[in-house]
Each structure stands twice: as structure tokens, then as C-alpha cells.
Amino acid sequence: MAAANKLEAGHRGPMQYRADIDGLRALAVVPVLFYHAGIPGFPGGFLGVDIFFVISGYLICGMINADIRNRVFSLGEFYKRRVLRILPALFVMFLFTSVFVYLYFLPVELEDYARSLASAVGSASNIYFAGTAGYFDAPAETKPLLHTWSLGVEEQFYFIVPLLMLLVWRAVPKHARLLFAIAAALSFAAAVAVSYRNTSFVFYLAPFRAWELALGALLAIGFFPAPQTAFWKNACGAAGMLLLLGVIFLGSPSAPLLLMVSLASIGSTLVIASSESGVSKVGRLLSLRPLVFIGLISYSLYLWHWPLIVFQRTDQLLLPNSSGIAVKLALVALSVGIAFLSWKFIETPFRKARAASKRMVFGVASMATASAVALCGLVLFAGGAPFRFPERVVAIAAYLAYDPSEAFRSGQCYLATNRQRLDIETCMKPDAKRPNYLLVGDSHAAHLWSGLSAAMPAVNILQATASACRPAAMPVSQLDTRACPRLMQYVFSDFLVNKRVDKVLLAASWKDEDIPALSETIETLTSRGLDVVVLGPIVEYDSPLPRLLADEILRNSPSIASRTRTAGIRERDRELGRIAAAKGATYLSVYDAVCRHDGRCDEFAEGDIPMQFDAGHLTAQGSVVVGRRLSTGLAGQLARADHVSR
């Protein structure tokens, strides 16, 4: 996305400006902007990044290829141009973003930001975000530099590809194109293989994204033939545009990532190819001046739009006490305005500073990078500068970094990743001297285990839980990790067939689409004579509860959390209760264990300890409170079991 829009494809003619590629940049950045801002109608807008990748591969490798063939390529000059093109606008964005973050972010958030900034200035933010991505990771809306992951991919590409092209063209020039094609195929194959184990790695890491940039590169170096006749140019452009519009307007984050990315990348390649030997009709459409203008400012627009969105969603810093479509459109307009200023007064002057020596450019860049990293280290050394806030706010905000692993028994009884296996000896061993209750479900089941165990010491509570895993006797589409079907198969088709338990507790972050599978599961279990208890959904919030509670104190507005409860959960709770009763199961409302009939919900477990550490999961203390309240609904069965044992 930061590639210069000039092409020098040695075997296809002299360097030339292509307005259609700037137009294609507009088609990439506008859907990204609208998708992130929440403008409806762009469910596949996130795929604009993949369009950028193909463009960058095409332009950069085309220029390198031409320079190598003409024997004028210089690594120093190449990296100098990249520094002047990328870093000035990027570091100005870093500067302004850092000032806002220091003024408004809580200590835990500031520490996270410092780590992300240090990785971003080192061109490794994609590696950082891949390593920290997880189910309980902080929400994207608290990460102003999350969007720099794609810059990390491109910058790593810029570092490696010139060296690789020099080596290949000098060592085996006759087989260079074939070797690049093989490298692209290996990258795609690796992405397919790893997608079954770690989708975060496939999303963020350069080795699994390289094939997208390589598609553009292969077109630029002539591996893919460009259409020559008007018919084939227009057909190629039309097919590519239909693919792009299809994934942008009909795509979905829930669809297979590689499928969506492949369609976007192929579509981009076709559109670029359609105008390579003469402008196609699609190329003329993309060359319209409004699209070209957006394309020219697309790099700055990409840089600035996400921090602005984060600051508005986190603290409403830009448009206080505002929400709705008007705010979203205002964010879009503000992003475009700042992007134009950045392009006009930062990007353009530095791009033209070709007279600057390599020594000066690399020296200034190194000093700026070292200074940024040093400041990040200072922030981390200071623990996120807690002196900026009252002690109570700091104490509450500390729960934003809460680690639920011990309370959830992660890696043993709660499977957070596909690689983990249930520890049957620890989690599923019946006790002959106590009643045995089996707790099955997702993380919203796991967060109840410690509280129920503490509230009912006379009961042995077994646990079989996994991330994003609704408890269902038959696999359903919502089970989106491989660990889940495997776990459910063991629980319902093995353990409950061969072992006897006194109760089966089904708990999850229930959604409306889970109701058919839940009904079928209850019928399956009750037909076997099992006593089934369904534990309903808990109150959830649009942001992490500790953040909301801290904001209540800082803004002296005690209703912030209550105003941001996720809509529809109470109604779903009531519907699930009716369905469970109709199917012969006991229903316990976790929602009612936290919220009262007057509409107020407990937000603190005790003292300054929040009931929940994120938008919905209980802290250990919160679990004890809820477990104690839920245990009264299980008291009848417990009393009968005690009587039988005596």
C-alpha cells in the first residue's frame, strides 16, 4: 500500500504512470475505511488490504526487475526510496497517536500500546499481533496501531525481495520466473496447511501472505501473460472487477479466510493485467479523477483512519456523547481530511527529497526509530505511568490485564487452542464418594467452574470446555475450532455413554442460532435418563467492564456500564428458559444471578474487584459470587444425593 505508483517493466516499455492503479488503490482503501468505521453494506471491506498487497508486489517487483535488467539497481537507493516513502507519514501518525494515548489510555492499555509501537517502528507489528492474538486478548478497539500489521508484512517483503531477486537473476536468470512461481505456490500451500492450526498466524505473518504480493510480482516480471486484444483486456478487467465487488459487498469475516483472500487477490491481479498493454474499460473507469485522488492519499488515509476510530470508540475523544451513522460519516470525513494534509505536506515533499544522501536518510531514520523504542522502554519501566490516574482507577484498570488461565484451568480442562488436549485424569475423573456434575461448554462454562466448585464442595464438578465451543451432541456450524467437535464427540459419544453422572451442566455464550442444537442435545441426553441443567447467558458489555468502571470514575458518570450492556441477552435468556423447560431440562439464569429485576447489575464482586474482567467473562471472585447464587438452584439435587449416600 506504500508502493510508488510507477512501473518500469523492462521487457514491456519505459517507466510510466498508471492512473488506473491509483484508482484501484481507492477501491482498496475505501472499503477498509467503511468496514472499520461500521458503515453498513461493506461486509468484506477488510479485504481491501489484500488488494494493496497485490498492487505492492506488482509495482515494487516491476521496478526492481527493470533496474536489475538495465544493470542500474542499487540496494541503497531502493531502501532510501522506501524510507522516504513510508516513514515520514508513519512517524507523524505515531507521534500524534502517542500523545493521545499518553493522555487518555489507562496504564495497562499504555503498556500494550508501547509494545505495539516498538514492534511497529521495527517493522514487526504483524509478528507482535500474531503472538498476542487470543480469545481473551484486548479488543481491537483498544489497539490504535493494530492496522500497522499490514505495513509489517509489506516492509518485510521490501527487505527480502530485492535480495532474493538479485540472487536469482544472477545465479539462474533463465529459471528466475519459475522459481518465483514456485515460491508463491509454497507460500500458499503453507497458508493452507497452517490455517488448520493457527488462523492468527495465517492472517498476520508474512510467509503466509507472501503469495498475494507474489501474484502481482509474477505479473510484473512476465510470468503471467497480459491480455493483448481489446476483447481479452476488457474481459479480464470485467472479471477482476466482478470478483472484487463480489468479495467487498458479499464477503464475510465468518467465511473461510483463504477463500476470501484468494478471490480478492485474483481479482486484483486480473484488473491490473487488463490495462498492462493498453487501458481497458475497467482501467478507464478506475482512472476517473475522484478515484485517482483517493488513491493518491490512500497511504495516509490508511494510516490515520484506524487511530481516529479507536479514540472515538474508546473515549469518544473526537465527537463527545455522539453515536450512530452521523458519527461514522464524520469519522470518514475527518480521516479523508487529515489524509489529504498528510499527503500534501508530508508524503509529497519527502518523496521528492531525492537529493538527500543515503547516509542522512538512514541516519535520521535510525535515530527516530531508536528514540521511539527508548520511549516505549521508559513507559514499560514506569509500569504504564499509573501516576496519571487516581489509585482506585488504577486498581480497577489492572483487571484489563487479568489472566484467567488458572481459574479456567486452561490447557487442561479448558482448551484454548486446537493443539491442546483434555486432561482426562484431572478434569473428568468421577468421585465415588460425591455426586458428579459434568460442566460442558465454552469459555462461559469454564468461568463458572471455580465458583461452582467453591460454592458446592460436596459435589465433584467435572469440566470439559473449549474456546468458542457450544455444547452440542451433534456437530454444528458454530463450532469454529477443531478442538470443539473432537471434545464434544468424546463427551457425548464416549464419556456419557460409559460413565454415569448425576447432572450434566450445559453452559455457553448462547446465541439465537444455538437454539436448535441445544434443543436436540437436551432431547438426546434426557432420552438417556440424564438430568440436564442449562445455564443461561451472562450479562455482557460492548467494552471491557474494567474500562467502563474506570470511565465512570474519571467522568463522574455512574451509568456508563449500564448504558453499554449488549442488547438482547435478557430476552434470549428468557427464551432459552422456556425451551429448556419444554424439553424437560432445568434452567438456571446466570443473567439473574448478576442482574436484579430492577434492571441493575452487579458490576463489582467485592471491593474494587470487577465482576468481569472483559466484556463478559467472570473474574475468579466474580465466579465465586455467581457460583454461590447458582448453587441454590442445585440444592435440591444435592440434598437428595447426600441422603442417598448416607
pLDDT in tens, 6-64: 443 333 433 478 999 999 999 999 999 999 999 999 999 999 999 999 999 999 999 99
Find the DSSP H helices in 70-148. Answer: 75-104, 107-121, 125-132
Q: Would 545 be classed as within a structural domain?
A: yes
One domain, residues 414 and 383: no
Q: What is the residue type of 531? A: D
- How many structural domains does the chain have? 2
Q: Would 396 be classed as within a structural domain?
A: no
End position of a domain, from candidates 336, 358, 388: 388
What pLDDT, on a 0 to 100 scale, did the predictor assign at position 354? 78
Give yes or no for residue 4 having a pLDDT over 90.
no
Helix axes 149-171, 210-220, angle to 10 degrees: 50
pLDDT in tens, 521-575: 999 999 999 999 999 999 999 889 999 999 999 999 999 999 999 999 999 999 9
What pLDDT, on a 0 to 100 scale, did the predictor assign at position 14? 38
Give percent of the chain above pLDDT 70. 93
Q: Would 397 be classed as within a structural domain?
A: no
- Cα–Cα distance between 130 and 149 in angstroms, integer? 9
Q: Is 169 exposed, middle or buried (0-12, 13-18, 19+ CB in 10 A)?
A: middle
One domain, residues 264 and 303: yes
One domain, residues 262 and 196: yes
Q: Would 631 be classed as within a structural domain?
A: yes
Facing residues of 586 across strands?
Answer: 533
Q: What is the pTM of this model?
A: 0.88
Q: Would 161 be classed as within a structural domain?
A: yes
Residue, of 599 and 161, whose pLDDT is higher: 161
All three cell numbers of 409: 484451568
| Contact present, 416 and 135 (Cβ < 8 Å) | yes
| Contact present, 50 and 27 (Cβ < 8 Å) | no
End position of a domain, from candidates 334, 358, 388: 388
Longest dimension (CA), the chain: 93
| DSSP SS3 for 463 | strand
Find the DSSP H helices in 436-568. Answer: 443-455, 483-490, 496-498, 515-527, 545-554, 560-563
For residues 109-124, one letter each, b for 16 or more C-beta atoms within 10 angstroms of the residue's C-beta and e for the rest, the string is bbbbbbbbbbbbbebb
- Cα–Cα distance between 249 and 75 in angstroms, integer? 40
Q: Would 510 be classed as within a structural domain?
A: yes
| Contact present, 451 and 618 (Cβ < 8 Å) | yes
One domain, residues 64 and 199: yes
Q: Would 614 be classed as within a structural domain?
A: yes
What pLDDT, on a 0 to 100 scale, did the predictor assign at position 135? 59
Q: What is the residue type of 296? A: L
**Among the ranges given (114-118, 202-206, 439-443, 466-470), the one the predictor scored with the smallest mean pLDDT:** 466-470
pLDDT in tens, 490-514: 999 999 999 989 999 999 999 988 8
One domain, residues 374 and 226: yes
Q: Is 627 exposed, middle or buried (0-12, 13-18, 19+ CB in 10 A)?
A: buried
- Cα–Cα distance between 594 and 468 in angstroms, integer? 22
Query: What CATH number did the domain enclosing 621 receive?
Result: 3.40.50.1110
One domain, residues 421 and 374: no
β pairing state of 503-507 and 414-415: unpaired
Q: Where are the beta strands (DSSP E) in 581-643?
A: 586-588, 604-606, 609-610
One domain, residues 299 and 408: no
One domain, residues 321 and 451: no
> Which of 224, 216, 212, 226 has its CA nearest to residue 178?
224
What pLDDT, on a 0 to 100 scale, did the predictor assign at position 314? 78
Give yes or no for residue 635 having a pLDDT over 70.
no
- Cα–Cα distance between 347 and 353 in angstroms, integer? 10
Looking up cell 487470543 gives: 134
Mean pLDDT of all residues belonging to the chain: 90
What pLDDT, on a 0 to 100 scale, did the predictor assign at position 477? 46
All three cell numbers of 352: 521528492
Q: φ, ψ for residue 415 (rounded to 5)? A: -95, 105
What pLDDT, on a 0 to 100 scale, did the predictor assign at position 633? 79
One domain, residues 430 and 343: no
Give percent of the chain above pLDDT 90. 77
| DSSP SS3 for 252 | coil
Q: Would 543 be classed as within a structural domain?
A: yes
What pLDDT, on a 0 to 100 scale, did the predictor assign at position 161? 93
Its domain, for residue 517, covers 404-645
Task: State the DSSP code for 493.
Answer: I
- Cα–Cα distance between 407 and 43 in angstroms, integer? 36
What pLDDT, on a 0 to 100 scale, did the predictor assign at position 641? 37
What pLDDT, on a 0 to 100 scale, did the predictor assign at position 57? 95
| Contact present, 450 and 624 (Cβ < 8 Å) | yes
Looking up cell 509478528 gives: 127
One domain, residues 40 and 162: yes
One domain, residues 429 and 467: yes
One domain, residues 378 and 490: no
All three cell numbers of 400: 484489563
